[in-house]
Structures are given as C-alpha cells and as structure tokens.
Chain A
C-alpha cells in the first residue's frame, strides 16, 4: 500500500523567505510526527499531532516554525523567514494509534531536503 509521502523532495530557498513542507500520512493513521535531521544535530523531534490537535509542540525550535493538520490527514510544516540554520532534512512519520496502551511503529516518509541560501 501507499506509504507516507512528502513534498517537495527538495527545496532551495533564499534566506528570509517562507516555506511550506507537506506530509501525506498513511490513510487511517491518527498520529503524525515531524522530525528534522541536520548534520550537526542528528534526528530531532519537532511536533506531533493526534488527529488535528498538537499535544506536544515542545520540539519546535522557534516561533518561526508552525504546523497544522487538517481533516486528520495532511499536515503542513511552515517555516517563516528562513535562516541558514534551518537547512536540514525534514521527516514526517505516522502511526495508527496515539496514546493508551499498545505499541505501534512509526512509518517515515522519504523527507524534504531544505537548503537555505
């Protein structure tokens, strides 16, 4: 079946511009996660959604970063006034269930490589 998809696969933008990154999770997955991976920092958590709400935004590095999820499906990560330190691979993951008992694997997309020049 279809996995997690992300678009664009690559994005080059000038410093100061805004960018939007999109994630299409696996159909029916209620939990959605954003991570980023940069050379200096490794893989770090940004934000996650249960349905359309975001119980944990603690990983967002600054108020220039925001994310939303609509219809319990597609999510968009927006970075305003991009800086060079925002350059990284942004990864999205989804899992079938959030919270409660049980333990469910996360399925990752291929990522969006963002380069800020």
Chain B
C-alpha cells in the first residue's frame, strides 16, 4: 500500500523559514511525479508545487514562486519543500500527493495525512 507521511510543520514567524518532508513507501518512488497541495483553514485546495520523477523538472504556483523550493531524494524516497519568506497567507495544511502516472502535471491518486504550517507572530 502507498504511504505518504509529512513532517516538519509548525509555528513560524512571518519572514521565517520551514522545511517540510514527505516520506514515501509502497511504490517505486523515482517513477512518479510528486506534489505539494495546501489548504488554508476553512478554504479549498491549492496546488503549490510539483517535481518530476527524476527531480529534473520543477514547477510552482505563482503564489510561492521564488520563495519555495521543491526537491526530492530518490535514494531516500523522500520529497521536500523548503519554504522561505513565509507570509500569513501561507498558513495552511500542506499535503504531499503522488501523481497518478509519470506525467509532470497529473491527478493525485495518493495523499498524505497533511501537516499544519502556521505563520504568525
């Protein structure tokens, strides 16, 4: 069974940094694109970033471009999201989500349980 487990969330001050991790198991990690999707409290879903299976291609929503960096370590089966210059509007539950196929832009067929990031002074 596919398992995705996020970690690294918490409370951070505006302008601060945080690194999220997503540990994957149950599938051939390097074959699939991976994504971060977030959900602000009481709001809908927002795609944040995607990375190809090899890690050679990365994509970002305009709202985080230049501040967030997605990466992956295929030997460790782990994906990361480095978040810098955090703003109050980045407060959300962040989900790690697996792409359904090998396409860079895809549907999300498996999700982690989510991790809360709160940006507040």
A and B pair up: no
Residues of A at the B interface (CB closer than 8 Å) are none
Residues of B at the A interface (CB closer than 8 Å) are none
